[in-house]
Amino acid sequence: MADAALANGASEEERVAHGVEIRNLYKIFGPNGAEMVEKVKGGMSKTELNEKHNHVLGLNDINISMPGGQIQVVMGLSGSGKSTLIRHINRLIDPTAGEVLYGDQDVCAMNAKELREFRRHKTAMVFQKFALLPHRTVIENTVYGLEIQGVNRRTARKAAARWIARVGLEGFEDHYPNQLSGGMQQRVGLARALTNDADILLMDEAFSALDPLIRVDMQSVLLDLQAELRKTIVFITHDLDEALRLGDRIAILRDGAVIQQGTGQEIVLRPADEYISNFVQEVNRARVIFVDTIMDRGEIVEGAPELRQRMLLEDAAKLFAETGQDRANVLDKTGRPIGSVSLQSTISAMVTPNTH
């Protein structure tokens, strides 16, 4: 069955992955973690838990609905708990309390056999340090997951060759990792993950070791592939620009707790507190916010120029400059007017408010 799916491709419905639901998830590192959960629920801070009980609070009551077929970004500074969180999804780390639901299955309650099958067939991981096997060529690295699954060699290599080509490495199949640049090695890591045909793609700081231009290029590769594949992708980063570019939804962690979650638009326009405000202070809002976020819904202006609803403020401002108009209608995906936006509101939304 696995061979047939790889050879023939999945149907449109089959390619839509389940989401991941994280409920009341706690991770406390130390010998008596389970006993410490009640103390944390009672309000004990990360610092106090460490100083009084020599336990480390990794995750504090995490609740995130990660939508199927979309990119969920989890971001935060070093020590915020983001890498700990992603390792709970495939249970490389066992939780102290809580649930990680995939469909109607709780990953935290799986037995050893169920967990092994879940890891082999439903998840794939792309690491910051590439994690390629140095003694294996590009194609041998790429087929590794399928070998573990028991897929026959011919089918596995055919699937691997396809994804190697898709990530732009055709012709490099017989090269070894030490013959590749960092960006090329990460493309191999991505091809290996995609070859597994897993529903959930876990990417832990996958592009942060790359040079800035290569990093942007890899982001584009990922977005292009995701537009076709619609995987459930959990992407860890400490970079807000990367989070805003990639994330359908973003969750921001601090000291093991979720401080704010939502779309990039919501976080930039309505930061939950000063910590988030400081994060978004330097964001180029013109390249993040869409016109339909700030439009006056239902107000249509006769004869006004037209904007697409997912047009960025930067492009809307150019249209206002070109037409000399001070108001434009906003059209939905079908071309139907759904509202209008003014030049003044566009300019105001582009300016970061002074929070000091």
CATH number of 285-350: 3.90.1280.20
Please report which confidence band the pLDDT of residue 16 belongs to, taking 50, 70 and 90 as the band edges: low
**How does DSSP assign 314-330, residue by residue?**
HHHHHHHHHH--SEEEE
pLDDT at position 310: 86
Instruction: Render pLDDT for 99-108 as a digit per residue (tens, 0 to 9).
Output: 999 988 999 9
Distance, in Å, from the CA atom of 249 to the CA atom of 53, rounded to the nearest integer, reads: 35
Average pLDDT score over residue span 276-293? 86
Instruction: Render pLDDT for 226-243 as a digit per residue (tens, 0 to 9).
Output: 988 899 999 999 988 899
Distance, in Å, from the CA atom of 21 to the CA atom of 104, rounded to the nearest integer, reads: 10
Phi, psi of 184 (to 5 degrees): -70, -40
- Mean per-residue pLDDT over the chain, rounded: 88
More confident residue, 279 or 94: 94
Distance, in Å, from the CA atom of 321 to the CA atom of 288, rounded to the nearest integer, reads: 19
Q: Residue 354: pLDDT above 60?
A: no
What are the extents of the domains in the chain? 2-18+64-122+198-280, 285-350
Please report which confidence band the pLDDT of residue 125 belongs to, taking 50, 70 and 90 as the band edges: confident
Please report which confidence band the pLDDT of residue 27 belongs to, taking 50, 70 and 90 as the band edges: very high
Tokens 């089918």 correspond to 155
Q: What percent of the chain shows pLDDT beyond 70?
A: 94
Q: What is the CB neighbour count within 10 angstroms for residue 247? A: 23
* Architecture per CATH, 2-18+64-122+198-280: 3-Layer(aba) Sandwich (3.40)
Q: What percent of the chain shows pLDDT beyond 90?
A: 53
Do the domains 285-350 and 2-18+64-122+198-280 match in fold?
no
Cβ 191 vs Cβ 167: under 8 Å: yes
**How does DSSP assign 189-226, residue by residue?**
HHHHHHHTT-SEEEEESTTTTS-HHHHHHHHHHHHHHH
Distance, in Å, from the CA atom of 181 to the CA atom of 93, rounded to the nearest integer, reads: 31
pLDDT at position 175: 93
Q: Residue 130: pLDDT above 80?
A: no
Instruction: Render pLDDT for 180-237 as a digit per residue (tens, 0 to 9).
Output: 988 888 889 889 988 888 899 999 988 887 888 888 888 998 999 898 889 999 999 9
Distance, in Å, from the CA atom of 85 to the CA atom of 91, rounded to the nearest integer, reads: 10
Average pLDDT score over residue span 26-35? 94
Average pLDDT score over residue span 145-149? 84
Tokens 């389970």 correspond to 34
Closest CA to 337 of 302, 313, 287: 302
Q: Which CA distances in Å does 43 have to 40, 95, 280?
A: 5, 19, 28
pLDDT at position 5: 46
Please report which confidence band the pLDDT of residue 353 belongs to, taking 50, 70 and 90 as the band edges: low
